[in-house]
Amino acid sequence: MLVLDHLSAVLPTKTGVVLLPQAVMMRRAGSLPLCRRPLRSVVYILSCAGAFILGSLMTLMSVDPMRCDIHQCTEKIKRIDVEDTNSWLGMWGHNNKGPEKNVFLVIVFLSAPVNLEQRNVIRQTWLSEEKSDTLHFFVVGVGSLSEDLNTTIQSEQKRFGDMLLLNNIIDSYQALTKKLLASLVYVHYNVKFRFLLKCDDDTYVQISQLHRELKGVPYKQRLYWGFFDGRATPRKTGPWKEADWVLCDSYLPYALGGGYILSSDVVTFIATNSKYLKLYNNEDVSLGTWLAALDLHRVHDTRFDTEYKSRGCNNDYLVTHKQSTLHMREKFNSLKATSLLCREQFQVRKSYKYNWNVPPSQCCVRNDSSIP
Ligand SMILES: *[C@@H]1O[C@H](CO)[C@@H](O)[C@H](O)[C@H]1NC(C)=O
Ligand SMILES: *[C@@H]1O[C@H](CO)[C@@H](O)[C@H](O)[C@H]1NC(C)=O
């Protein structure tokens, strides 16, 4: 099990994971010379015998990577993972149409149990224009939920079937990073997809426009697309504090959490390395940190209005954060009536272009009001 454990962690791609049994075989072949030497200890005999039995079993179970289809393979890998992931990742019993799904875009919303109204308004407004090759989940921690709220959530799930209910996570601000990681692991093992959009339940997305752009995006892989920041000094108190942050005196560049896009290979990297990842308090800071070492296309796009406070309304905004249900309906109605997002465009705060040639502390100067 240790061998499997180790290999599943170091093979970062979906193909890598599927090739796992082959990698095990190679390891087994490598240990053969030990069998030929004078048997020094019982341990050698046991490990050789164990490797032989494991190999035979795998042949019997026909997990030949060339033959099993992706769903059979991920089924098996999934079981391995369940054994050695932290208990809070134990949501595999979730009843959805997952494994058969093959979609272009997955949308993951981090949502709080009580935010039924926000979820419904999103369902009635921009999600109502979701394409058939798109799948969405509202991710909610349902550990230790009150009986009333649990009943409400269960009937919501029965009605819409679009929630990822995490039994082992007690929902709170502090659980956002766990919820994000659990979602990425879940989506990796249960859905075949090209891109993932992470949103909050107060995010408005011009979904048709975004969908069109994604179809033509020049980076099909290694994509990390959103509105980047990195200059903030880590806080020591308050809801966004990062008491454990020691990597640098600012954060590392990360796309702000109101909405960002990852290509599926990036999600694979995170899902298959999940147990090694340090969970910081903020999910977006965590994601930027997990991906900091990778050679990615970090695309800073000012049409992602995804900061802690909206910069205003601009018809070009693909994603806009911190929207009340009223604002969502307004934007939806405006788009219906005029094909424009905003009844009136305005800017309450300047935006910036990210400067990738300087350290994060100097990345982001708000000195140009012509930037949306
Ligand atoms: C919520 O309801 C479901 C289904 O009725 C049940 O399986 C689960 O244990 C309940 N959870 C809590 C925290 O009461
Ligand atoms: C804004 O600041 C950046 C970085 O300091 C500088 O390169 C740029 O010319 C400035 N733009 C304006 C309009 O002042």
What are the extents of the domains in the chain? 2-84, 91-362
Residue 217, judged by CB atoms within 10 A of its CB (0-12, 13-18, 19+), counts as: middle
Distance from C-alpha of 20 to C-alpha of 13, rounded to nearest angstrom: 11
Distance from C-alpha of 317 to C-alpha of 243, rounded to nearest angstrom: 34
Q: Which ligand places an atom closest to the C-alpha of 350?
A: 2
Centre of ligand 1 to C-alpha 147, Å, is: 8
Amino acid found at 105: L
Q: Are 276 and 9 in contact (CB under 8 A)?
A: yes
pLDDT value of residue 49: 53
pLDDT value of residue 193: 96
Q: CA 316, 217, 258: angle at the middle one, nearest 5? A: 50
Query: Is 145 close to ligand 1, i.e. is its CB under 6 Å away?
Result: yes
For ligand 2, atom 10, the nearest C-alpha belongs to 367
The residue to mutate among 367, 369, 370, 371, having the most atoms of ligand 2 within 8 angstroms of its beta carbon, is 367
Ligand 2 binding pocket (C-beta < 6 A) is: 365, 367-368
Indicate which atom in ligand 2 lies nearest the CA of residue 365.
Answer: 2
Distance from C-alpha of 25 to C-alpha of 185, rounded to nearest angstrom: 26
Buried b (16+ CB within 10 A) or exposed e, 306-327: bbeebbbbbeebbbbbbbebeb
Q: Are 184 and 303 in contact (CB under 8 A)?
A: no
> Could you state, in chain order, the average pLDDT of each consecutive group of 10 residues for the chain (372 residues)?
33 33 34 43 51 45 33 34 39 44 94 98 97 95 94 95 92 94 93 97 98 97 97 86 90 97 98 94 96 98 97 98 98 98 97 96 95 96
For ligand 1, atom 11, the nearest C-alpha belongs to 150
Q: Which ligand places an atom closest to the C-alpha of 169?
A: 1
Query: Is 150 close to ligand 1, i.e. is its CB under 6 Å away?
Result: yes
Centre of ligand 1 to C-alpha 91, Å, is: 13
String of DSSP letters for 55-76: HHHHHHTT--TTTS-HHHHHHH
Distance from C-alpha of 181 to C-alpha of 228, rounded to nearest angstrom: 20
Q: Say which residues have a Cβ less than 8 Å from residue 307's Cβ, sequence separation at least 6.
A: 227, 229, 256, 258, 321, 349
Indicate which atom in ligand 2 lies nearest the CA of residue 368.
Answer: 13
pLDDT value of residue 101: 74
Q: Which ligand places an atom closest to the C-alpha of 157?
A: 1
Q: DSSP 3-state assignment of 198?
A: strand
Centre of ligand 2 to C-alpha 368, Å, is: 7
Angle of helix 283-291 relative to helix 264-272, nearest 10 degrees? 90
pLDDT value of residue 236: 85
pLDDT value of residue 250: 92
pLDDT value of residue 59: 40
CATH number, domain 91-362: 3.90.550
For the chain, what is the largest distance between any 2 Cα atoms, rounded to a whole number of angstroms?
A: 83
Indicate which atom in ligand 1 lies nearest the CA of residue 150.
Answer: 1
Q: Are 318 and 301 in contact (CB under 8 A)?
A: yes
pLDDT value of residue 299: 98
pLDDT value of residue 103: 95
Q: Which ligand places an atom closest to the C-alpha of 93?
A: 1
